[in-house]
Amino acid sequence: MIATADFKITKAKTSKLSTLDVNNIPFGKYFTDHMFEANYENGEWGTGEIKPYQPITIDPSCAAIHYGQSIFEGIKAYKNQEGEAYIFRPEDNFKRFNISAERMEMPQVPEEVFMEGMKQLIKIDENWIPNQPDHSLYIRPFMFATDEVIGVKPGQKYKFMIILSPTGPYYSAPMRIYVEEKYVRAAPGGVGYTKNAGNYGASMHPTAEAKRKGYDQVLWTDAFEHKYVQECGTMNVVFIIGDKAITPPLGDTILAGVTRDSVIQLIKDRGMEVEERPLGIDEIIDAYKKGELNELFGTGTAATISMIKELRYQDFVMTFDTEKWKIAPEIARTMNAIKEGKIEDKYGWMVKV
Ligand code: COI
């Protein structure tokens, strides 16, 4: 059977929406009334299905649990001023999803399944898109191997799903970041550029150690010298040094963030030079000591634009008064205004549901 957007749709008998406290929506805690599911078997995708949100049954031998063929994406939907639902740059996430799939030897998900599945699902649950500032509907597409077999080999069967979660900010206050030198997130030739579940699993222990020291996240450094900064694992990073914005270059150790790309565009459009190049911790410290490290922030779908108020490298602590910053808040305001349809979307980023 060829995958089509002719999905089987079963609506939930009742909605959980009235139980949602719109003034308190932590990231990733609540899920909408419906979910999307499509299964891959015998080399082809079966008919996609939208059905009431519910647990799924998997066999204890489910291949993804044992050997990690599991990938995901993070996307957000918003309502514009007329109350219409729009998704932020979903095509970019669709492409990145299939790049992850290729590296993990998983099947490609057809565009009509990914994009139409997402749009039709959001249409059904569009009342769940929050209206408050800094809130959105987080979209989580994911795929994992479902073979019932214990053996280190690529799966023959996969499940692709999309779930939706109304959400407030991921990081609500400026962050404290610890520069990691012992553990490694990604090495050349590895899977750092993919959104595979294992990248996040491997970050849990180093991040927990940083949290025990009082930090919110680690800033990963390169695998060889622990000299060049990479990303935070939940977000890419941008440094404003002097009159330039500097961010580590993409490659196989850094996730190609859609928010990173959008922020680069917005910074360039406000007339500031952006350099995508290796950035050493010594250069960062030097700039800080000279008073030239003006701003430092993370970018990500969940994280949006998250200001960093403290950066610690070994025993050297760099602190910042984020209240005085101009660029990060301005870029965040512009990005929000585009997402909420308050200003023209001249980049064509918003896709109507
Ligand atoms: C996202 O930004 O969508 C991610 O997947 C990162 C994670 C921190 C939620």
pLDDT digits (tens, 9 = 90+) for 241-257: 999 999 999 999 999 99
Residue-level pLDDT at 75: 98
Total domains in the chain come to: 2
Nearest atom, ligand 1, residue 138 CA: 3
Tell which of 130, 152, 169 closes a domain: 169
Choice from 170, 171, 194, 207 to test ligand 1 binding pocket (greatest atom count within 8 A of CB): 170
Return d(Cα 243, Cα 179) in angstroms, integer. 24
Amino acid letter for position 27: F
280 and 201 co-located in one domain = yes
Q: Looking at ligand 1, which residue's alpha carbon is closest to its atom 9?
A: 302
Indicate the DSSP class of residue 72. E
70 and 108 co-located in one domain = yes
- Cα(172) to ligand 1 centroid in Å equals 15
Residue-level pLDDT at 1: 47
Q: How far is CA 175 from CA 71, 196, 289, in A?
A: 27, 25, 20
Asked if the structure places residue 320 within a domain, the reply is yes
pTM summary value: 0.96
Q: Among residues 234, 232, 210, which one has the least CA distance to residue 220?
A: 232
Do the strands 304-313 and 244-247 form a parallel or antiparallel pair, or are they unpaired? unpaired
Per-residue pLDDT at 147 exceeds 50? yes
- The confidence band for 5, taking pLDDT boundaries of 50, 70 and 90, is confident
142 and 202 co-located in one domain = no
215 and 138 co-located in one domain = no
Task: Give tens-digit pLDDT for 202-243.
Answer: 999 999 999 999 999 999 999 999 999 999 989 999 999 999
- Cα(163) to ligand 1 centroid in Å equals 14
Contact 177, 311 (CB under 8 A): yes
- Cα(257) to ligand 1 centroid in Å equals 10
Q: Among residues 197, 46, 33, 195, which one has the least CA distance to residue 113?
A: 46
- Cα(292) to ligand 1 centroid in Å equals 30
Q: Among residues 231, 252, 206, 210, which one has the least CA distance to residue 297?
A: 231
Enclosing domain of residue 119: 4-169
Nearest atom, ligand 1, residue 300 CA: 2
162 and 189 co-located in one domain = no
Q: Among residues 255, 266, 270, 260, which one has the least CA distance to residue 298?
A: 260
Asked if the structure places residue 349 within a domain, the reply is no
- Cα(136) to ligand 1 centroid in Å equals 14
- Helix H segments across 68-155? 90-103, 111, 117-124
159 and 185 co-located in one domain = no
Q: Looking at ligand 1, which residue's alpha carbon is closest to its atom 8?
A: 234
Neighbours of 268 (CB within 10 A): 12
199 and 300 co-located in one domain = yes
What is the distance of C-alpha 249 from the center of its chain? 18
Do the strands 85-88 and 75-79 form a parallel or antiparallel pair, or are they unpaired? antiparallel
- The confidence band for 121, taking pLDDT boundaries of 50, 70 and 90, is very high
Contact 137, 77 (CB under 8 A): yes
Give the 3-state secondary structure of residue 194: coil
- Cα(337) to ligand 1 centroid in Å equals 21
Give the binding-site residues of ligand 1, using a 6 Å CB cut-off.
74, 234, 300-303
Q: Among residues 252, 305, 250, which one has the least CA distance to residue 278?
A: 250
140 and 36 co-located in one domain = yes
CATH number for the domain including 137? 3.30.470.10
Asked if the structure places residue 258 within a domain, the reply is yes
Residue-level pLDDT at 22: 86
